[in-house]
Homo-oligomer: A and B are copies of this chain.
């Protein structure tokens, strides 16, 4: 944290008492891995706080009423994780298009059995929740020759560069969008509005050959409805990095399903991911000290 350490007093702690009298003077609260309660306690005890930064992209674990109501800006780590999550999304598409489970079954049985694979070129991907992750997915899938649809709560502002999206859909047109998709990538933040937004109705509207991919937040998808859809063949498969409860309980049927590619919420973990998160904060801190505009200022009321 070079640029921060040179001119700042840095105090690290796991409970309010750890921060001692630094709380009285602290202007910056950087939440690395604290839960909502700890962040709230420190926040309420720190009268000079001028900025809160959360290492994570998702804010559902940090937002509390006093923070939402305050004028203090909250920024997040959005962007640091997006390329990795887009790569996992691509893997999940190709995993099902080329039928990796069948390839492995045949390989391990010593069987030479050519079969028709599916191209992803020319297929349609729909991105539910088009933020930074969605944009990285769009860039990569467009380069694979896919048609890219995206669901966005607000219509894009005129002149905004939102990446290679063929058509935007507003939230009310979710069922219409997924009906035309071969792959649906969920990358929405978790808010009161998005909880279980992808449920039985969505799976019923999707093609039977379509694949659901969730790299956003587990509870955005109704997991019981997803398991039913995977069992009865309403959809072909799922690539999942996030779950309603994490760690996913050992008795979850998702573990044993051949038509699921399951990642234990580590699709955004790579050797440098923690360094990247610190580097991003350090650069933000430089902006804060210089009085420049911060990046990734979130809308605390919307929750992203």
By a CB distance below 8 angstroms, the chain B residues around A246 are 112
Does any Cβ of B come within 8 Å of A140's Cβ? Answer: yes
Which of B88, B95, B260 contacts A107 (CB under 8 A)?
B260
Which of B94, B115, B120, B266 contacts A116 (CB under 8 A)?
B266
By a CB distance below 8 angstroms, the chain B residues around A113 are 264
Interchain CA distance A110-B255 in the complex, whole Å: 5
Stretch from A14-22, A57-65, A179-187, A267-275 that touches the partner? A267-275
The residue in chain B whose Cβ has the minimal distance to the Cβ of A88 is: B98
How many copies of this chain sit in the oligomeric assembly? Answer: 2
Interchain CA distance A266-B98 in the complex, whole Å: 9
Q: Distance in Å from the Cβ of A202 to the closest Cβ of chain B?
A: 24
Does any Cβ of B come within 8 Å of A97's Cβ? Answer: yes
Cβ contacts A203-247/B at 8 Å (1 or 0 each): 000000000000000000000000000000000000000000011
By a CB distance below 8 angstroms, the chain B residues around A106 are 262, 264
Does any Cβ of B come within 8 Å of A72's Cβ? Answer: no
Check B264 against A114 for contact (C-beta < 8 Å). yes
The residue in chain B whose Cβ has the minimal distance to the Cβ of A243 is: B112
By a CB distance below 8 angstroms, the chain B residues around A107 are 255-256, 260-262
Interchain CA distance A250-B106 in the complex, whole Å: 11
Does any Cβ of B come within 8 Å of A303's Cβ? Answer: no
The residue in chain B whose Cβ has the minimal distance to the Cβ of A260 is: B107
Interchain CA distance A114-B110 in the complex, whole Å: 31
Check B110 against A270 for contact (C-beta < 8 Å). no
By a CB distance below 8 angstroms, the chain B residues around A142 are 143
By a CB distance below 8 angstroms, the chain B residues around A110 are 250, 255-256
Chain B CB within 10 Å, residue with most, of A88, A91, A104: A91
A119 and B270 contact, Cβ closer than 8 Å, known pairs A94-B87, A100-B91, A255-B108: yes
By a CB distance below 8 angstroms, the chain B residues around A11 are none
Within 8 A of B (CB), among A246-304: 246-248, 250, 255-256, 260-267, 269-271, 273
Check B264 against A117 for contact (C-beta < 8 Å). no
Does any Cβ of B come within 8 Å of A50's Cβ? Answer: no
Within 8 A of B (CB), among A93-131: 94-95, 97-98, 100, 103-104, 106-121
Check A95 against B104 for contact (C-beta < 8 Å). no
Check B103 against A262 for contact (C-beta < 8 Å). yes
A94 and B90 contact, Cβ closer than 8 Å, known pairs A110-B256, A116-B269, A266-B116: yes
A118 and B271 contact, Cβ closer than 8 Å, known pairs A107-B255, A255-B107: yes
Chain B CB within 10 Å, residue with most, of A248, A263, A267: A263
By a CB distance below 8 angstroms, the chain B residues around A88 are 98, 117
The residue in chain B whose Cβ has the minimal distance to the Cβ of A273 is: B116
Give 14 new A-B contacts, CB below 8 A, not counting A87-B119, A118-B271: A84-B119, A88-B98, A91-B94, A91-B95, A94-B94, A98-B263, A106-B262, A106-B264, A109-B255, A110-B255, A112-B248, A114-B265, A116-B271, A140-B143
